[in-house]
Amino acid sequence: MQPIGAILLSFAALAAAAPLEARATDSAATDNSGPFQVYGYGEGIGGLFMFSTGGSKAGLGTFCLKGNHQCSLGDFAIIPFLLILQTYLGDVYFGDYTKLNDSNAAPVLFTLTDTDTWIGAPNTTATATDPNWSNLTFSIPAQGSSDHDVGFLNSNTTSSGRQTSGFLFYGSFIFVKGATGSLQSLWYAAPSSIDGIFSLKWNVTDNAAGRKNDDTVVLTLKKTAPSNAADVDPASA
C-alpha cells in the first residue's frame, strides 16, 4: 500500500528553510507570465502531460465516473445525472490524448489570474482540429468534501463544493494553498480503461469514499517537461 502523498509546508517554513540562492531561483520560476503546460511524475509515470476533453460527450463515453471503466448505455440509465456532472468531474487526464479518438481532447495550456485561479484552454497547435472548449476554470474538491475528482468548471457549472483558487508554484512544483496557509500536494493518478491514460485525483485516502487501491499512483505535478518530452507529449514532437 502506498503512503499518503501529502506535503504540507507553511509559507513561513519555506521562507526560513530555503537558502537565499534557492529563494531567488524559486521567485524567478514563479514568474509565469505566459501559458504553461502541466506534467505528472510518479511511479511508472515519467512526466506525462495533462490533457482534457473539456467535458465533451465523446470523452464521457470513454471514461465513466463509475469506477473508471468504459460506460455503457446501462450506466447512463442508472446514473442519468452523469451527463451533467461530467462538465467538471474526472475530466483531467495524463497521457496520450490521441488514444481517445476525440476531436475535443487536447493538451491543456494554463494562464494565471491575480487570484491564483488557473484558466485552461486547449493547445490547438497540437491538434488537427480545434476543440470546442476554452477558458475553463481548474478546480479540486473543497476541504472536507468526499469527492476526489479534479476537473474544469465552465461558466454554467456551479463551483459549490469546489476550490478554484490557491494554485501556486514553489519552483516548478505545483501546490495548493490550504485554509491554514499551508502548501499541499495531494495529487493522485487513477488508471483509466485505456492503457497509459490516468485520471487526476485529489486527496484520495484509505478511509474516504473512492478508496485508494493498489493501482493508484502518488503524483508530483510540475510545469517542467521531462527530458524525453517528444516521446511523452505529441505536442512537443
pLDDT at 222: 97
- Per residue of the chain (237 residues), what is the pLDDT tens digit? 444 444 444 333 343 333 323 332 333 344 556 799 999 999 999 999 999 999 753 333 334 433 333 444 344 343 443 433 444 445 899 999 999 989 999 999 999 998 899 999 999 998 888 999 999 999 999 988 888 999 999 888 888 899 999 999 999 999 999 888 999 999 999 999 999 999 999 997 654 444 455 688 999 999 999 987 655 555 554
CA quadruple 107, 196, 172, 55: dihedral sign:
positive
pLDDT at 121: 96
Q: What is the DSSP string of 86-124?
A: TTTTT--EES-GGGG--TT-EEEEEEE-TTS-EEEEE-G
pLDDT at 65: 38
pLDDT at 72: 41
| CA 50 – CA 95 distance, rounded (Å) | 7
pLDDT digits (tens, 9 = 90+) for 151-164: 999 888 888 899 99
Domain ranges of the chain: 9-225
The closest alpha carbon to 56, from 141, 127, 146, belongs to 127
pTM: 0.72
pLDDT digits (tens, 9 = 90+) for 52-106: 999 753 333 334 433 333 444 344 343 443 433 444 445 899 999 999 989 999 9
Instruction: Answer for the pair 183, 8: CB distance below 8 angstroms, yes or no.
Output: yes
Locate 126 and state its grid cell: 497540437
pLDDT at 93: 96
pLDDT at 56: 56
